[in-house]
Amino acid sequence: MRLPVAVPPARHETCASYLARLASLHGLDPRELWHLVSTPRPGTSRRNIIPDRLAEITGRPPGRLGLALPQLRRPEPDWQAWRHQSQPRCPRCDARHDGGPVTRLLPHHRYVCTRHRYWIGPPDAGQPATPLGPELAGIVSAQWRHLRLLRRYGTALTYDAVLTGFLICGHLRDYQPAGWDTAWHRWDHRAQILIPAGTESTRFSASRIFAAAYPEAVDLAAIIGYPRWRALAAGDAGQRRQFIAEIGRRLGQPGYQPPDDGDAIAHWIDYDSWHPPSRPRTTYPQTRDYGAPRLAATSQQSLQRQERSALFFRVHRHGGNVILHHRHIQPVLIRDWSPKMDGITATIWASRTTLPLGRHDHPGIAES
């Protein structure tokens, strides 16, 4: 059977999204169409798309479909380079695709549509893409710098470094150590544009809080991900001093020295810099959306968490707490070698201190 309306898939579109658009344009039941082009996956309720069947009904060769639909690529993509959760992209990019909403699976390094200047950010409950006006040009520029880091360092190091940058920014904003006013003012200025005071109930999105800190997170990633600087951070006391001086310069804080009980930067130096980069905890094929005919609805728990974050931000007007509690940074907040803590509050505290947290075998650091 060949469908009469030729509908191309969008780039990085999920199979469920593409089939839903095909069904809508042809007046078909999406599940009926899904069963037509797939086969049951043994032992599960999920189904595997058969590329040849989809090619037959769309008139598009399997190879061409695979270029657009990550699930159909052969060999499979490196799923650790992709987000595990599908999301909308830029509305202007999606507007030219007929048949309904387009849902895409994006790689970890895509936070901004640089063509149309929209923040698409990490997935968030009910999060729409956010237009970035001229006053937020620094966020768009940060995406270009992020892509340059990807070319230099590769997927794994860049992923770890940018999330670590967000983690450090979250701590600096939440705990407000003395002397970091320049960075706070930048974050507050962007947050005021993205979520004006008094509009939190309608404009708040945790993803927009990440947008406010994105330029500094990428600046930090440039040094955290650079193998030479990582080696200095993991080296002897003199080498660590070189790293500390450089990271202070990058954050506009010359003369920076970690406090006696440490901070998020010192914690990364002592506990994390000498380990391999942390990787995503979940990949798309492990989720309930993979092989399902429709996307899972946003859970009530996620919506309630969003409401609590909006209320906190309305009262305090700073987003460090929002970043630190968001699942987007969990791979670098709770690393494979992190000591087990009792609850999220203790875990966040542990990620910003150099006080003894348990045994760690850094060759240059005495065991506690």
Q: Does the pLDDT value for residue 126 go beyond 70?
A: no
Cβ-defined contacts of 28-37 (< 8 Å, 24+): 30/293, 30/294, 31/293, 33/57, 34/293, 36/1
**pLDDT tops 70 at residue 358:** no
The answer, yes or no, to whether residue 366 has pLDDT greater than 50, is no
For residue 367, is pLDDT > 70?
Answer: no
Across the range 263-289, mean pLDDT stands at 94
Residue found by looking up tokens 């770890």 in the block: 160
Q: What percent of the chain has pLDDT over 90?
A: 69
What Rg, from alpha-carbon coordinates, does the chain have? 22
Residue 184 burial (CB count, 10 A): 14
Instruction: Look at residue 179 and tell me whether its pLDDT is greater than 90.
Output: no
DSSP characters over 243-269: HHHHHHHHTT-TT----TT--HHHHII
Cα angle at 49 between 44 and 54, to 5 degrees?
155
CA pseudo-torsion sign 6, 7, 11, 17: negative
pLDDT of residue 125: 65
More confident residue, 111 or 261: 111
- Tell whether the model's pLDDT for residue 181 goes beyond 80: no
Q: Residue 297 and residue 103: Cα distance in Å, rounded?
A: 13
Please tell me the distance from the alpha carbon of residue 97 to that of residue 171, in angstroms, as a whole number: 41
Determine the pLDDT at residue 77: 94
The mean of the pLDDT values for the chain is: 90
What's the confidence (pLDDT) of residue 368? 32
Token pair for 186: 């930048």
Q: Out of 51-65, 103-117, 147-161, 280-294, pick the least confident.
A: 280-294
Burial 339-367 (b: 16+ CB within 10 A, else e): eebeeeeebbbbbbbbeebeebeeeeeee
Q: Which of 355, 173, 167, 346 is nearest to 258 (CA)?
A: 355
Q: How much is the pLDDT for 158?
A: 98
Average the pLDDT over each of 111-115, 145-149, 313-317 and give the range with the smallest value. Answer: 313-317
For the stretch 207-250, pLDDT in tens is 999 999 999 999 999 999 999 999 999 999 999 999 999 988 88
Given a cut of 60, whether residue 260 has pLDDT beyond it is yes
pTM over the 0.75 mark: yes
Q: Alpha-carbon distance 353 to 345, whole Å?
A: 13
Residue 111 has pLDDT above 90, yes or no: yes
- Region of 176 please: left (phi>0), alpha (psi -120 to 50) or beta: left
- Does the pLDDT at position 365 exceed 50? no
Residue 359 has pLDDT above 70, yes or no: no
pLDDT digits (tens, 9 = 90+) for 190-199: 999 999 999 9
C-alpha distances (whole Å) from 191 to each of 139, 206, 265, 318 are 12, 11, 23, 8
What pLDDT is stored for residue 136 in this prediction? Answer: 98
Residues 34-67 pLDDT 10s: 999 999 988 877 889 999 999 999 999 999 999 9
* Residue 348: its H or E element: helix 344-350
Per the document, the length of the chain is 368
**To which residue do tokens 């310069």 refer?**
249
pLDDT at 121: 87
